Amino acid sequence: MIIEPIAYFHSPLTSKFGIPRQSGLVARLPGTIVFEPPYRHADAVRGLQDFDYLWLIWEFSANRTAAHGLTVRPPRLGGNERVGVFASRSPFRPNGLGLSCVYIYKVEMSATLGPVIHVRGADLMDGTPIYDVKPYVTYADSHPEARSGFVARSEWVQLEVQVPEELSSCFAADEWQELKEVLSWDPRPPYHDDPDRIYGMPYAGRDVRFRVSGGRLTVVGVVPL
């Protein structure tokens, strides 16, 4: 089977570093789905306004290396413990396909781009190819009593995020809210624990620099890219 992208995703997150580790973690994080020319017609999304969530099937386009071996080291387990590749959501897979559930914020019609789907809570970086979209339906897709394996046994703790007052004008208020939520989930690799190290994460055309000490992340600079 040969598949081609039907759309591309657009996000303020332009690199792998900082991408939420699961969809829905950063509920307010904005993104848009822009269809390729063959699908830029209102008929392609007819009825979509009656749904709240979408499933996205997409490509780990920034990680084109196929899985080497049958086990991976999930960040949720600190990056040290191995589980089977098919017992994880690792991007290192035999086929580099991702699956995400996102909230439909609105669908608008553009004179040049056709239907553009605005979503919230995606874990996709800017420019990600999308191969299909499917509506989320509760009777088939929701299993609130289901077990979640190692994920349920290893809780992530969010960081406190501090932004100095002199940097507050670098982003609009809503952008800061989105960014602070992204940062609170600690974008660093799980095995990093150097309180003096400064990290940089691109967001909305700026390089956001920060350090982490204990349970606190402090933004130390914002530089235009």
Contacts of 123 (CB under 8 A, 6+ apart): 19, 20, 21, 22, 23, 25, 98, 100
pLDDT one-digit tens code per residue, 23-54: 999 999 999 999 999 999 999 999 999 999 99
Residue 66 — pLDDT band, cuts 50, 70, 90? Answer: low
C-alpha 136/C-alpha 134 separation (Å) is 7
| pLDDT, tens digit, 9 for 90 and up, residues 84-129 | 999 988 888 888 899 999 999 999 999 999 999 999 999 999 999 9
Report whether 104 contacts 48 (CB < 8 A): yes
What the block records as the tokens of 75 is 């960040």
Residue 100, SS3? strand
CA-to-CA distance for 140 and 60, rounded, in angstroms?
26
Q: What domains appear along the chain, each with residue ranges and CATH number?
A: 7-141 (2.40.30.70), 160-224 (no CATH)
Q: What is the pLDDT of residue 168?
A: 92
- How many CB atoms are closer than 10 A to CB 165? 6
Burial of 161 (0-12, 13-18, 19+ CB in 10 A): buried
pLDDT digits (tens, 9 = 90+) for 146-196: 999 988 887 788 999 999 999 999 999 999 999 999 999 999 988 888 999
User: Using CA of residue 169, residue 170, residue 175, residue 177, what is the dihedral sign?
Assistant: negative
User: Which has the closest alpha carbon to 157: 197, 186, 119?
Assistant: 186
Task: Identify which has the larger pLDDT, 66 or 19.
Answer: 19
Q: How far apart are CA 16 and CA 25, in angstroms?
A: 16
Q: How confident is the model at residue 5 (pLDDT cuts 50, 70, 90)?
A: very high
Nearest to 24 by CA among 155, 161, 185, 146: 185
